[in-house]
Amino acid sequence: MNDRTRLSRSIYLSVSGFLVFQVLLFLAFFLAYRMNGSYLRLFLSTTLIFHLAILAFLLAFRKSFALVEDGRSLARVNLANEVTLARISSLPTLLILIVASKEYPIKAPLLVLVSLAFLTDFADGWISRASRQVTFIGRMLDAISDYSVLIVLSIVFHYYGLIPEWFFWTVIVRLVFQGAGMAVLLMARRPIRTQSTLMGKAAIFSTMALFTLEILRAVVRWEITWVWRSLEYAAGAIVFVSIFEKAALFAAQLRRKPPSGIPTSADPGTPKA
CA atoms within 13 A on the CB side of 55: 17
Cα–Cα distance measured from residue 258 to residue 217, given in angstroms and rounded to the nearest whole number: 49
For 208-261, how does the pLDDT look when each residue is reduced to its tens digit (9 = 90+)?
Answer: 888 878 777 777 766 677 788 898 899 999 999 988 888 888 888 777 765 544
Tell me what pLDDT residue 191 has. 60
Instruction: Look at 50-59, 120-129, 230-239 and tell me which has the smallest mean pLDDT.
Output: 120-129
Q: Sketch the domain layout of the chain as residue ranges.
A: 3-255
Res. 265 pLDDT band, cuts 50 70 90? very low
Counting Cβ atoms within 10 Å, is residue 115 exposed (0-12), middle (13-18) or buried (19+)? middle
Range in 28-42, 69-83, 140-154, 245-259 the model is least confident about: 245-259
DSSP code for 263:
-
- In this prediction, residue 116 carries a pLDDT of 82
Q: State percent of the chain over pLDDT 70.
A: 88
- Asked if pLDDT for residue 272 goes beyond 70, the answer is no
2-39 pLDDT per residue, tens: 778 899 999 999 999 999 999 999 999 999 999 999 99
Which residue has better confidence, 45 or 136? 45
For position 132, what pLDDT does the model report?
Answer: 84
d(Cα 41, Cα 48) in Å, to the nearest integer?
Answer: 11
Give the pLDDT band (50/70/90) at residue 195: low
Q: In this predicted structure, what is the pLDDT of residue 264?
A: 45
Given a cut of 60, whether residue 271 has pLDDT beyond it is no
131: pLDDT strictly greater than 50: yes
Per-residue DSSP letter, 3: H
Which position has the higher pLDDT, 127 or 146?
127
Residues 264 and 267: their CA atoms lie apart, in Å, by: 6
Rounded to two decimals, the pTM is 0.73
Give the DSSP per-residue string, 130-178: HTT--BHHHHHHHHHHHHHHHHHHHHHHHHTT-S-HHHHHHHHHHHHHH
Mean pLDDT, range 166-191, rounded to an integer: 79
pLDDT of residue 196: 63
